[in-house]
A and B are shown apart, each in its own frame.
Chain A
Amino acid sequence: MPSVHFTPNLRRHLRVESTEVEGHTVSDALSRVFRDNPDLRSYVLDDQGRLRTHVVIYVDGRAVRDRKGLGDAVGEGAEIHVMQALSGG
Chain B
Amino acid sequence: MLLHLGTRKGYLALRRFGRGDWRCERSAFIGDPVSQLLPDPRDGRLYAALNLGHFGVKLRVSEDRGASFTELPAPAYAKQEASSEEAPSVDLLWCLEPAGPDPGSLWCGTIPGGLFRSDDGGRSWGLNEALWNQPSRERWFGGGYPHPGIHSVLVAPDGDRVVAGISCGGVWISEDGGGSWRVRTEGMFAEYMPPGLREDPAIQDPHRLAWCDGDRRRIWCQHHNGFFRSDDGGETWTSLEVPPSSFGFAVAAHPGDPQVAWSVPLVKDECRVPVDRRMVVARTRDGGANWESVGRGLPEGDSFAVVYRHGLDVHPGEAVLAMATTTGALWISEDLGDSWDLVTAELAPVYCVRFDRS
Contact = CB atoms under 8 A, between A and B. Distances in A.
Interface stretch (A29-37, A39-47, A73-81): A39-47
Contacts of B83: 48-50, 68-69
Contacts of B78: 47
B54 A52 contact: yes
Nearest to B90: A47
Interface string B70-101: 01011011111001110111100000000000
A88 B84 CA distance: 22
B54 A48 contact: no
Contacts of A48: 77, 79-80, 83, 87-89
A55 B52 CA distance: 12
Contacts of B56: 42-43, 46, 52
A63 to B, nearest CB: 15
A85 B55 contact: no
Q: Which of A14, A42, A50, A54 has the most CB of B within 10 A?
A: A42
A47 B58 CA distance: 12
B195 interface: no
A42 B53 contact: no
Nearest to A87: B54
Interface residues of B, number: 22
Contacts of B89: 46-48, 50
B79 A47 contact: yes
A13 interface: yes
Interface string B55-75: 110100000000000010110
A13 B58 CA distance: 10
Contacts of B90: 47
B71 A49 contact: no
A1 interface: no
Given A14-B71, A68-B83, A68-B85, A47 B76 contact: yes
Given A48-B79, A52-B56, A68-B85, 10 more contacts: A9-B54, A14-B71, A39-B71, A42-B73, A42-B76, A46-B89, A48-B77, A50-B83, A55-B55, A69-B83
Interface of B: 31, 52-56, 58, 71, 73-74, 76-80, 83-85, 87-90
